[in-house]
Amino acid sequence: MDIQLAPERIFLLQERLSADEIRQRAMDRRTQAFGGGLGNLLQRPKPEDVTLVEAQRRLEPFWHAAARARYVYQRSRDYAVPSSAPEVREVTVNGTTYRVQGSTKAAPTFTLSVTESCLDEFAHQVFSDGVSGAPVADAQAMITGPSSEITDPTTLGADETIVVPPEQRASFVVRKLLGEMMKPVQADSVEEESLVLEKTDLYYRPV
DSSP state of 47: G
pLDDT for the residue 38:
47
pLDDT for the residue 95:
93
Low-confidence stretches of the chain (pLDDT beneath 50): 38, 41
How far is residue 111's CA from residue 98's CA, in Å, rounded to a whole number? 7
pLDDT for the residue 165:
95
Cα dihedral 86→88→90→95 (10° resolution): -130
